[in-house]
Every structure is written in C-alpha cells, then in structure tokens.
A and B are shown apart, each in its own frame.
Chain A
Amino acid sequence: MTDAVWQAFALLGSLNADLIEIIGLSLRVSLAAVLIAALVGLPLGALIATRRFPGRGAAIVLVNTLMGLPPVVVGLMVYLWLSASGPFGALQLLYTPTAMIVAQTILVVPILIALTRQIVADLDAELGEQLRIFGLTRWQQILTLLHEGRAALTTALLAGFGRAIAEVGAVLIVGGNINHVTRTMTTAIALETSKGELALAMALGLVLIFIAGLVNAAAMALRGGADAQLAPGRS
C-alpha cells in the first residue's frame, strides 16, 4: 500500500506519457462538453427566466429532474442512440471521444439551464424595469442580464465542469474505456483499481482532487473578485 503511494507520486513526477494522455483526454472531453452545454444552457436558462410561455412550469420541473440524472442512465441513453441499430448508428460514434462529449453535454446542460434561470431571474427582478426604461429589446435585456450576472454564471460553468470531469458512468458506457482512445481519469481509476493496480489509480485520483481544488479556488476568487471587476478604467 505504501509502495503504491510512492509509485503514484513517482508516476506523477515522471510525467508518464500514458498518464498525460489520459489527463489530456479527460480535460478535452469535459471542457468541450461544458462549452457546448454553455452555448445551449445559458440562452435557454435566460429565456425561461425572462419569458412567460405555455409549458414554462413543466419545463422548469423537467430541467430540475434532469439535473439529478444518474450518469449511467445518460450513458445508456446515448449508447442506445449511437449503437449500430440506434437512430444515429450510421454516424459510427460509439466508443469515440465524441460520444463521451455528447453524454457529458447532456449531463451538464440541465445544470447550466437551472442555475442560469435562477441567476437571471434574480437579476431580472432587480434590474428588469430599469432595462425596460432604457428601451432595450428583449434580446438586449437578456444579454445585459447575462453580462450583469457574469461572475455567478462563471461559477455555474465551473459547477458544470465539476460534474463532467468527475463522472464515470456515462463515459464508461459510451466510451468503452479503450486504451489510448477513450480512457479518461475516472474510467482508468475504476479499471486499475479493479485490477489491483493502485499506483496509477491513486496518481489519477490525486490529479482529480487537484483539479477539484483548482475549480473551487477559481470559483471563490470569482465571487470575491466580483467587485474587482470594477477596477477603474474598465469598460
């Protein structure tokens, strides 16, 4: 056991090529998923927050439900879509990083919609009338609200990234944990631990903990720095 710990640090220290590859893929997949989820989630969240339309209440319940989706269920769903006999089977995406990005995007989108809705709704209650007084169009109002909420929204993005980078069930099912192709930090940890190869598992675990710490520190710095955005001369 102690040996494994030392080996883990040795692996990290040696910048082992396999290790770097796995970390790199994890970051690429999760960052891509968060980016795509942001493009979908921020506008949808803002829209639900600022517009009244039939089915709005149902949409909010749906989004909140989806937020709690177990990653394995999302994995299964995407697997069924992408498998050879599924509706998107022809794309041959199963067991590729693209499939993992799709699955993680589906996991992150509801979080971003729900958090954005809350953030924008609170801001709209505070600023909405003033923005109408300014004579803004609907879309100008939404853009201004998103801009006003940028610190809180960045925290929401970090929360989404946290969910993506930490999940194992979805990427395992649709990625298949193929060495050098779809092996991520979490799937590698699951595999190596089951094989009794604790060193690599622990090294990756340490990296994950480090990333989690980094994300949290960034979130805190953003909250604390919300006023620093107002440094003189900034537009």
Chain B
Amino acid sequence: MDQTVLRPIMRDVQVMPIAGDALVVRRDGRTLLDRAALSIAHGAGVTVIIGPNGAGKSLLIRTLAGLVVPDLGRVTWAGSPPDRRRARRTGFVLQRPVMLRRTALDNLVYVLKLHGHNDAAGRVVAMQHLADHGLARVAATNAQRLSGGEQQRLALLRALVLEPEVLFLDEPAANLDPASTLAIERQLNVAVEKGLRVVLVTQDLAQARRLADEIVFLHKGRVLEKGEAHEFFRAPATAEARAFLAGDLVL
C-alpha cells in the first residue's frame, strides 16, 4: 500500500493498551459476564479468546470494543474510558459480514470518506486495497451479492483500510469454507506483521493454535486463564480448560 496517498488517520490518538476491569453484564436476570478482567497489551500480536458456547466471548470483545456498556466494572482505552472519536482507531469484524447496499469498492470508499478522505483519493486508495487482496474483479459488484467468503474478506479489508491499532473479530470464519478461512488468516497475519493487535474469538481450536500468540480462556463469564498460547495448549492451568480442550466441558 502506498502510504503517500493515505492521509494520516488520527495516528496521534491511542487506544492501546485496552483493559477491562471486573466487567459485569447482565441480561434478563442472567449474569453473562461475571467480573471478567482482561487487559490487552500494546503492540503487534494475536490474542485469541476461547471457551465453551455461552461463556460470554462475543460479549466480552463487544464490551472491550466499547459497543456494549458494562453494568458494572469499567473498560479503559489507554487509561481513559472509550469514546466515539477514538473508536475509529479500533476495528471490529462481525461473524456475519454486514455490507452496505453499494458496490464492493463503494463499501471501502464509504469508510475512507468518513475518515476524511475526499471521494477521488478514497477511490484510488480503495481500488489499490482491493487489488492488493485479490478482490479487484468484484470492485463494481453489489457487495451484498458477493459470496460469504468474499464478503468477509471485504469486511476485514474495510476494517483494515483505516489502519486500526487493534482489530476485534467475532468468529470471522465461522461460516466460511477452508479456502476463505485461509485467505482471512493470511490477511490477518500480514496486518499483524505490520504492527496490528488482533483480538479474535473463535470456536475453532485448530484456528486458535494456528493464530494465537496469547490465549484467553473464558468460562461462565469469567476469565479463568490468560497466557502464552503454546504454554496454554501444552499445560492448561485449570481443570475447566483441560476439560474444554479434551472436549469434555459441558456448561
């Protein structure tokens, strides 16, 4: 990517490190996050959050990303509460990609314009990104008509063109075939090499092993383990994590 075309997008603004302290989220009388505590360090790398269904993984990253306000506890970005202005330094990719009703190219142009690019410059930058990621041939296609894999790659690209400090992903490959999953992972690895911090939720332990530098194990709304990935998979510290890895953990 040609850096000269891109205006510096609020690079002075910092969100990392991100910390959640004693986060409690209740819905309909159920406690979904139960004093969950987690901090994500500054700098490149991949933090993967795993845990059984219903453990609160999606809710945890939404809360850290400032999309959900916790009932108790607090989230801080670089020491102060999340705010909309700095939210633009965070990215979020949903499990099911949400495309605007316009072309693939215009989906990218839309976010670039939000961040101060004019239309012409936005188009140049967007086209370059599509070309770099093998999506140039669908540039003029209605984004909602793309295949699931193409939509998710575009959604990831749409988050990455803004050069966030941290990117949250909520099971981005849950509905994808192996080739698309591979494409997504490759795209992520490239971004991480350039300095991105990724916080990924997945149900796919093989994917967790492939990508994770750091593992967070969530169980019944609480962070039970957080540590170096290789170490976690070799010797999980808690009985719950051992049971989960063995496929025996039932909520």
Chain B interface, >50% SS class:
mixed
Number of interface residues of B (CB under 8 A): 23
Which of the listed residues B85, B91, B142, B145 has the most CB atoms from chain A within 10 Å of its own CB? B142
B26-34, B95-103, B193-201, B224-232 - interface stretch:
B95-103
User: Chain B CB within 10 Å — which of A134, A136, A148, A229 has the most?
Assistant: A134
Determine if B121 is an interface residue (Cβ-Cβ < 8 Å). no
Interface size on A, residues (CB 8 A): 20
Cβ-Cβ contact count across A and B, 8 Å cutoff: 47
Do residues A127 and B103 form an inter-chain contact, with CB atoms below 8 A? no
Assess whether B204 is interfacial by the CB under 8 Å rule: no
For the complex, what is the distance from the CA of A141 to the CA of B68, rounded to whole Å?
17
Chain A residues within an 8 Å CB radius of B11:
none
What residues of B have a CB within 8 angstroms of the CB of A230 in the complex?
Answer: 101-103, 140-142
Expressed in whole angstroms, the Cα–Cα distance for A127 and B107 within the complex equals 13
**Inter-chain contacts of B114 with A (CB < 8 A):** 134-136
Produce 1/0 per residue, B134-150, CB < 8 A to A: 00000011100100000
Does A135 contact B87, Cβ atoms closer than 8 Å?
A: yes
Given that A230-B142, A234-B103, A235-B119 are contacting pairs, would A130 and B98 also be in contact in the complex, using a CB cutoff of 8 Å? yes
Among A132, A134, A136, A233, the residue within 8 A (CB) of B140 is A233
Residues of B within 8 A of A127 (CB): 98, 100
B42 CB-CB contact with A under 8 Å: no
For window 151-173 of B, CB contacts with A under 8 Å fall at none
Alpha-carbon distance A233/B87, docked complex (angstroms): 30
Please list the residues of chain B having a beta carbon within 8 angstroms of any beta carbon in chain A: 65, 67, 84-85, 87-88, 91-92, 94, 98, 100-103, 106, 109, 111, 114, 119, 140-142, 145
A residues engaging B (CB < 8 A)? 126-127, 129-130, 132-137, 144, 148, 226-227, 229-230, 232-235
